[in-house]
Structure formats: C-alpha cells, structure tokens
Structure 1
C-alpha cells in the first residue's frame, strides 16, 4: 500500500468513527473550485424550439439565435439544450423539449445557474415565449411586459356542473371556501393561512418592467392580411380588433392548456385576486410559473438577482373563441399568429437587450427604472 493510499484509508476510518460517513460508502470528491467564473451580463430564455436552433423553421428561440449570432455552443450538464452566446455578452438557451412533458422546467434552469463556470449575480434575464391573450385586453401578435407572474396550478377544483349556483366556476384557492377568496382555513397548507406566504403571484421589478415598456411601446409589430381577417371576427372586442401592439400585463402560467370564455373569466379573476386588484391578466402559458419559481429559489440563495428578471410574452392566439365560434372549434388555433408572435418576441425584446449590453458600465450596478 502506498503512503497516499494509507492516508486515504486512515481518513475514511476517522470519518466513520466520528459518525460523518458510513463504512460502506466511498468518499465523495469535492466539487471542482473555479477561480475565475464568467460574469454573465444577459440571458434570454425561450421555451421551445421544434427543430434546430438555426437554419430551419423558427420556434421561440431561432430568431434570437440567428439575428444575435449566438454561435458559440456551451453544453450544460443537467440541461437538454446547450447554452449559446455571442461576442457581445448575450447568452441564450431553450429549456423545452419533448422530454419535459412530465416536468424538468425548473431543474434545467437551476442546472444552468449552478454551473460552476458562470456567475449570474448581476445577470439580467429575459424570459420570452408565445401565449394566449385575453381578447378583452389585446390582439394576436401583441406583446406584453409583465409586472407579476401568477401561478395557476395550485388550487382546488370542482367540476363546474357540480358547484353552488352562485359560483362562477369550480376553481378556487386552497384554504378558501369559494372562488375569488383568499385562503382562510387554518387546516389548509399545514396551518398556514397568511395569503402573502401562500401567494400564487411573484412580483417582478415593476420599475424595470415600466422602463422596458417605455423603450419599446412604439416598436412596430408586423401585421398580415390573414390576421386582419381573423380580427374582423371579434365584433365587440375593441382591443382584439387592434393591429398588434405593445402593452403591460400579467402572465399566468398553468400546466393545463385551458381555453374558453369561462376559463378566461377565471384567469382575469385569479390575477386580480393574487395581485390585490393591481394586476391585469394579459397572457396565458404553460411555463412561466415554473421558471419564476426557480428564479425565486435561486434568488433566495444569492445566486441571481430577482430585480433583474423580465418577462415578455407575445400572443399567438386568443384564450377564447370569437363570437359565434365554439371553444372546441377554436382551441389550439394558433395558425398565422405563431409566426407573428415569434417576430414580435424578438423585435420588442431586442431593444432592451441591446441597450443594457451597449451601456454595461451604466447598468452593471444600477438597474434601470421608470
């Protein structure tokens, strides 16, 4: 036995004797120490890309990858897609994949942030993606900067046909006795009744969101004859009939793909409930609640700055059918709206990215606000 092997054996025996290790378990080597981490300036996170990141039909990430020349590919352990970056300090990544249908959204984001090569403590984040939009608020192709991210998964659910006659629907908060009420039952959530601690809403940096909106509110979003024909069906919905525009409004994430006027009413009410009447439902999606939850945990660990997080969603479809059309006939009808939403996502998000990266000496330590 060599001297080093003898030392290792003595160390293992000492650990077992002290109760800090078991005799049958091998010693686990420590994680490598990285002396010089890369201080990341800006990351764009997209939700899915059905094909390649570049060179084929676009998804949510391809326009960013191609137009920003995110040519360098960096594999990340624990993530299904690689990280990409360009020479200007912009990084981009796709979290979604067919393998994430049973989960894995937050885990992939955490894998990125926990990678020992990078330092994300002063990083600005832009979470992008296409969504359904409330026809009372916006039209297909429109882009909304969020002030809150609202979680629409954790709730109580009854069949709408089995609820009390004065209930609008069968969805309501755990710990509440009926819809549109905050938790009040001390037996729920292991005794927690503080609606602040149980909140389904994560408030973003509203000053930063207003600043981003102010810089992009006049960005032109492409229109098309096909979208114009679709908008003509929305008689009585003035905002749904407008050409695509930029607005401020909240994003509601739920793993359920819901659709129809009844659920749109629930979404409007749910956002108002959890933002104290200050937020307005704008965009529905299936990811933002998980990604925001991961960022919240990472921020509490001091690994990211939640005040530097932005969420921009663009509308590929409406959350309910136009007048005279059934929900069953319109669900998933994203058609021409997808391509416009991809384009709007990049065109509205890019000016914010370019401003921060172009004046990094100004924004590194001072978060912009309006």
Structure 2
C-alpha cells in the first residue's frame, strides 16, 4: 500500500511539472518609468506609445513586487512601467528579472523615458542614447560657502566605485545610433518659440538624435551651478559629456549587472526641459514657471522616443538569429 501511495504521489508530481508553462523567452524588454493615465487613449507618458506599438492585443502579466504588469507580444517583445526614482524602478526591475514567468538569458533592455538637457548640449525634443550611466549621488556634498571659494562642492565616497558609473556596450550603442540617427523627429511651434529664449546654439536648433552620458539622481537638480556639477562628476568619472538628467538608469543598471549583465542594455531619453533657466530667468522661476511659460514639446518628445526606439526593437527582432547570443563584433 505504501508503495502504491508513493507511485501515485510521484505521478501527480510529474503531472504537475508537466503542465507548468515554459518561461516566456524575452527578446527585448522596454522599461518606462511613469504613465500619466491609461496605456492608451489619453495623454501619453513614457509607456503609452510603446504600448500602442507592441502590446495593444496582449494580456497583462502580474509580477509580485513590480509596480505594474508586464506585457509581452508574440514576437518576444515585453514591457512595463517600473516607477520613478532609483528605488521604485530598480525594485520593479529586479522583481521582473527574477520572476519565473520569464526567460531573460538572451534579452536586450531599453530603459526609456524623459529627462532634462543642459542648453549647451541639446534642446527640447532631442532623443539621446546613453553611452554612460552615472549616479549623481554616492558622495559628499557641502554648501559652497563652507568650502574653498571656486572649488567643487562634491567628493565621491569610497566604496562605490563599481556601482556609481556604468559604461554601456559601445557596439550596441553605435548600432542604435546608426539605426535611428535619420529618424524625422516631431516638433512644435511652442517648443520652437521656447528655444529662442536661450542663447546657446545647441539649445536653439531643431531636435535630433544624440548620444552621451545620462546622470541619475532622486532630486530634480536645476540651475547652471548644479548642471556644471553634473558635468564635473561625469568628467571626474572618465565618462562622456553629461547630456541627460534623469532618475533611474544607473539603479536599473546595477540590478541587471547583478543578474543578467549589462552588455545588452540601452538607455533612451528624450529631453522635455532644460536643466536651467534662460539668461532672463532665475532658477526658481524656471522651477515654477508662470502660466504659459512652460517649455512645451512634451507630447512630441515622448512620441520621438518611440519613433527612435522602435527602429532598434524591430531590427533586433527581425535579425534575432544574429543577435540572440550577443551583439556581433562586426
């Protein structure tokens, strides 16, 4: 009798294993940070245009510990809204990457969102591919009047050397830039007029696709002084010029570096504001603009992000046999 009971239990166990679903093999994972309302049919945030392109006919997949459901289509493209800030986004990313419903062993990741741009480096509605991801924090800061006049007021803290900066795969970044550099970007009359308040040539031009360092902090830093500090940190860490201020990239990179690696990670950001006011505007006025004084161009920028990013997503899927095992050397 005990033998029969054992056999029945074994058969039940084998049967249960047999009906378990195979993990979804993810080719490309698209990570937005926030959505304004729903995923379609209203004002678009960072994920809606991706959803409308890839996930309209898909069912949500609940992941314990993640802010929002994951959506996956039949081509192996998945995506989700992770949450704003380093903690919210990275905790969602870790929950998703470690979830048994997905196979991320060959996946490419696109961190997709908006950010600020220094007027010396870019303009409203630009779309920028990150070459480096840097943490704006993880150091010591002090008030300028408590230090040496004219000297930096930031010092990196020892012990964070491996997590305060990440250089992304240059072959993958170059591929992304090459595929998307000629995309016709959206623009608006409001954004065009706003740019003219600035004197820098880069701030006044039409939007384009660029590449450079993305620096993440949990505070929205503004003003020429803090912008200069971000550039100082980028130079201190041996990275490219600071191009985009954002809140999540380096934290998501740390999660991926501990799990599946960052060789297949891309960071894609659209510029929706300048990181400082124009010459006739104080930093506080820039932070809290009067009615009619905002930058404009948000709707166009989030559309531009998807227009640029889809070139890479579609290329990877269409050429999956060449990219499944990594970015080809040539």
Is the pair's TM-score, using the shorter chain for normalization, greater than 0.5? Answer: yes
The question of whether the paired residues in 2 share the 8 Å contact of 1:131 and 1:285 is answered with yes
Q: Give the Cα separation in 2 of the matches to 1:204 and 1:63.
A: 25
Instruction: State the TM-score, normalized to the length of structure 2.
Output: 0.88
Q: C-alpha offsets along residues 120-166 of structure 1, whole Å, 9 cap, x if unaligned?
A: 01001111100001111111100111111001121101112322113
Q: Give the Cα separation in 2 of the matches to 1:328 and 1:35.
A: 54
Q: Which residue of 2 aligns with 1:63?
A: 49
Q: Give the Cα separation in 1 of the matches to 2:167 and 2:85.
A: 27
Q: Which residue of 2 aligns with 1:11?
A: none
Q: Give the Cα separation in 1 of the matches to 2:244 and 2:197.
A: 20
Indicate which of 208, 213, 217 corresponds to 2:177. Answer: 213
Q: C-alpha offsets along residues 307-336 of structure 1, whole Å, 9 cap, x if unaligned?
A: 111111110001111111111111266642
1:88-107 equivalences under 5 Å are: 88-96=75-83, 103-107=87-91
Q: Which residue of 2 aligns with 1:25?
A: none
**Helix, strand or coil at the partner of 1:329:** helix
**Helix, strand or coil at the partner of 2:203:** coil
**Helix, strand or coil at the partner of 1:266:** helix
Q: Give the Cα separation in 2 of the matches to 1:315 and 1:283.
A: 7
Q: Which residue of 2 aligns with 1:74?
A: 61
1:173-322 equivalences under 5 Å are: 173-175=156-158, 189=159, 197-198=161-162, 200-235=164-199, 237-274=200-237, 276=238, 278-298=239-259, 304-322=260-278
Alpha-carbon spacing, 1:54–1:281, altered in 2? closer, same or farther (3 Å): same
**Helix, strand or coil at the partner of 1:108:** helix
Say yes or no: does 1:341 pair with 2:298. no
Alpha-carbon spacing, 1:232–1:319, altered in 2? closer, same or farther (3 Å): same
**Helix, strand or coil at the partner of 1:59:** coil
Instruction: State the TM-score, normalized to the length of structure 1.
Output: 0.79
Q: Which residue of 2 aligns with 1:135?
A: 119
Alpha-carbon spacing, 1:46–1:135, altered in 2? closer, same or farther (3 Å): same
The question of whether the paired residues in 2 share the 8 Å contact of 1:71 and 1:84 is answered with no
Alpha-carbon spacing, 1:70–1:124, altered in 2? closer, same or farther (3 Å): farther
The answer for unaligned runs of 5 or more in structure 1 is 8-31, 176-188, 190-194, 299-303
The answer for unaligned runs of 5 or more in structure 2 is 7-16
**Helix, strand or coil at the partner of 1:130:** strand
Say yes or no: does 1:171 pair with 2:154. yes
Q: Give the Cα separation in 2 of the matches to 1:129 and 1:141.
A: 12
